[in-house]
Chains A and B, each alone.
Chain A
Amino acid sequence: MFATDALIDRTILITGASSGLGRATAVLLSRMGARIIAVGRNEDRLIATASQLSGAGHVVRPFDLAAVEAIPEWLQSLAAECGPLRGVVHSAGVHLARPLQMLKADAVQQLLTVNVTAALMLAKGLRQRAVHESPASLVLMSSVMGQVGQAGVTAYSASKGAVDALCRSLALELATQGIRVNAIAPGQVETEMAEQQRGSLTTEQFERIRSMHPLGLGRAEDVASAVAFLISDASRWMTGTTLTVDGGYTAH
């Protein structure tokens, strides 16, 4: 669907590359010629992703994004090693389903750290002169939960609303540096996270969510295609937007 040379010779860092949407994105961007830096905590699963990539020169770099303070310097060392980045995709994320009476402040904090603070620190790292090569593109994984509500997923919704909001301000702050910033808001896609989330729903509840997606549940590749568009020059005049990719979930 995309030209195999659209991202040729571009180094793209993908967080959450060990699973789900991040892995599907790594596979697609590699088919478009990109050199992938695959990031996540689980090295074995990152290696499994690397084995599915097309082309050569990809690297696996395990890193715990909860170490937010260390992110900018870590990006600097990656750029020194692999060359400046033309793009970053922040697909690492944490989900939490807890009714309020079960919601613990430290779990909220951990979720916000990976979903929100890490996104900001990645942007802070990317803007450093030695780290990016413009035009560059930063793509953040948000969720429809940043736009509509669902009982029991308050902390997660808050984090995704924050991603949509910070994406707009970052877009303004980084435009002069030649860095575009956009987010993607997927509906329910069948990945491990969705599987985990499904674990707290009855068959009946899950069927209701499925029926609220007029085009059915998504596949990871559906979201990867949207990332490919936002990372590539095809979206050169887009910044500060959240692209909803949800099979019609929020059209209701």
Chain B
Amino acid sequence: MDATAFLVALDELFELDRGTITSADAIRDIPGWSSLTFMGLIALVDDELDITLTPDTVLACRTVGDLLQEVGLATHPARQRAA
């Protein structure tokens, strides 16, 4: 699963139109953020990426981009620009 597919899976989890969630979004401001979607987010990472995130790791991520970084799906924009 790449970053784009992960963002689509997040849209589905939060029941938003495809393309709604972007890496710039603050995680806790996503509409529908609740203890259940939080549980779903951890399950999504576990099911699709085989990574077990602790809840506190997720809570330490401010934006969706921070989360992508955490699960190894970040595109490292800074390095891309330098190349």
Contact call A99/B55, Cβ cutoff below 8 A = no
- The secondary structure that dominates the A interface is loop
Alpha-carbon distance between A205 and B13 when the two chains are bound, in angstroms: 20
Contact call A202/B38, Cβ cutoff below 8 A = yes
Alpha-carbon distance between A98 and B23 when the two chains are bound, in angstroms: 24
Closest Cβ of chain A to B52, distance in Å, is 6
Closest Cβ of chain B to A105, distance in Å, is 14
- Cβ of B42 within 8 Å of any chain A Cβ, yes or no, is yes
Top 7 A-B pairs, shortest CB-CB distance: A99-B36, A99-B40, A202-B55, A102-B40, A200-B39, A200-B42, A152-B39
Q: Which of A101, A199, A201 contacts B40 (CB 8 A)?
A: A101
- Cβ of A151 within 8 Å of any chain B Cβ, yes or no, is yes
Q: Count of chain A residues with Cβ under 8 Å from any Cβ of B?
A: 13
- Cβ of A203 within 8 Å of any chain B Cβ, yes or no, is yes
Closest Cβ of chain B to A94, distance in Å, is 14
- Cβ of B44 within 8 Å of any chain A Cβ, yes or no, is yes
Alpha-carbon distance between A88 and B12 when the two chains are bound, in angstroms: 44
Q: Could you say which residues of chain A place their CB within 8 Å of the CB of B39? A: 97-99, 152, 200-201
Alpha-carbon distance between A17 and B14 when the two chains are bound, in angstroms: 39
Q: Assuming A98-B40, A102-B13, A102-B40, what are 9 further A-B pairs, CB within 8 angstroms?
A: A98-B39, A99-B43, A102-B47, A152-B35, A152-B36, A199-B52, A200-B38, A200-B42, A202-B55
- The secondary structure that dominates the B interface is helix
Give me 17 A-to-B residue pairs in the complex whose CB atoms sit less than 8 angstroms apart, sorted by A's number.
Answer: A97-B43, A99-B13, A99-B37, A99-B40, A101-B40, A102-B13, A102-B43, A102-B44, A152-B36, A199-B53, A200-B39, A200-B42, A201-B35, A202-B38, A202-B59, A203-B56, A205-B35
Alpha-carbon distance between A137 and B27 when the two chains are bound, in angstroms: 51
What residues of chain B have their CB less than 8 Å away from a CB belonging to chain A? 12-13, 15, 35-40, 42-44, 47, 52-56, 59
The closest CB in chain A to the CB of B12 belongs to A101
The closest CB in chain A to the CB of B58 belongs to A202
Alpha-carbon distance between A97 and B38 when the two chains are bound, in angstroms: 11
Q: Could you say which residues of chain A place their CB within 8 Å of the CB of B35? A: 151-152, 201-202, 205
Q: Which of B12, B43, B59 contacts A200 (CB 8 A)?
A: B43
| Given A202-B38, A205-B35, A98 and B55 contact (CB-CB distance below 8 Å) | no
| Given A98-B43, A101-B12, A101-B15, A199 and B54 contact (CB-CB distance below 8 Å) | yes
Alpha-carbon distance between A98 and B15 when the two chains are bound, in angstroms: 15
Q: Could you say which residues of chain A place their CB within 8 Å of the CB of B43? A: 97-99, 102, 200
Q: Could you say which residues of chain A place their CB within 8 Å of the CB of B47? A: 102
| Given A97-B43, A102-B43, A199 and B37 contact (CB-CB distance below 8 Å) | no
